[in-house]
Amino acid sequence: MGEDMKHTVSYIILLSFILIFSNSASAEDSQLSEIEIQDPSDWEIIVIDQSTTLPNGNETFSDGDYVSISVRVSNTGNQSVNGSWKLKLLSEGVSHSSVSQNETWIANDDRLSEITVGPLVEGIMTLKFEISMENSASNISEAIQITVSPNPILFTSAGEASIALTGEPAYIGDILTASILVGNGGDSEGSVMLTLYDIDSMILFTGEPVLISPGSSREISVDFNFSSYGEKWFQWKINSDLGG
């Protein structure tokens, strides 16, 4: 009799646990059903040029570029929902990079998620925005595919691989000039400029843009000076309005 009661109590406890867990999961699924992700066709997608780290002003996705995406998420329920979102950048089904963040969606309210992700790689890529509930395996998602083209511009050094400096030896206030011969090995013309950066990759000086046609080479340069004595360290980069 005692053994039967123990088994009965065990079954009741186990059954209660299953019911509580089931009710909890149902509540989470119910909350998740009240979360709506904006239709992918309405997402705001801005292409960030790999060279300038600024919007490139067009909707062409090129190898090496980044994308800035704004996605509106709506909570249609009457309770706040805790969870997280993740934006995955997929190439041929394989995760290339991702960005995630914990979030609280207030009842009957919209929230805009703004994400920058990249770099893009040539081919068909999928941008997948996914929302998961806190302490739950349940999730919802929306996705959009983009076509990433080869980089249209291929700017390389047409002579020496390093910049040439003129104006040395220099004194405080003197103007020095850094220059390099650049060739366009791509199939489109584009403007390039020579930029100098400090050790923290902050821009120090930027030269005037120079337009180079496919198959052509031109010299680009930047003038600069320093206001203090001592050895100066900087890095340089050829930047283009179209990347590459």
Kindly report, residue by residue over 95-139, the tens digit of the pLDDT: 888 999 999 999 999 999 999 998 888 899 999 999 998 777 788
CATH superfamily membership of 34-149: Immunoglobulins (2.60.40.10)
Segment 7-25 shows an average pLDDT of 43
For residue 205, count CB atoms less than 10 angstroms from its CB and return exposed for 0-12, middle for 13-18, buried for 19 or more: middle
Say which amino acid occupies 11: Y
Identify the pLDDT of residue 4.
52
155-240 CATH choice from 2.30.40.10, 2.60.40.10, 3.30.420.280, 3.60.40.10: 2.60.40.10
Is omega for the bond preceding 40 within 30 degrees of 0, making it cis?
no
Identify the pLDDT of residue 31.
72
Q: What is the pTM of this model?
A: 0.57
Give 16's pLDDT tier (boundaries 50, 70, 90): very low
Residue 45 has pLDDT above 70, yes or no: yes
Segment 29-35 shows an average pLDDT of 77
Identify the pLDDT of residue 25.
46
| Side-chain-side CA neighbours of residue 237 (13 Å) | 16
Among 53-67, 74-88, 180-194, 229-243, the range with the most confident prediction by mean pLDDT is 74-88
Domain range summary for the chain, segments of one domain joined by +: 34-149, 155-240
**Could you identify the residue written with the tokens 């081919």?**
123
Give the CA radius of gyration of the chain.
28
Other CB atoms within 10 Å distance of the CB of residue 34: 16
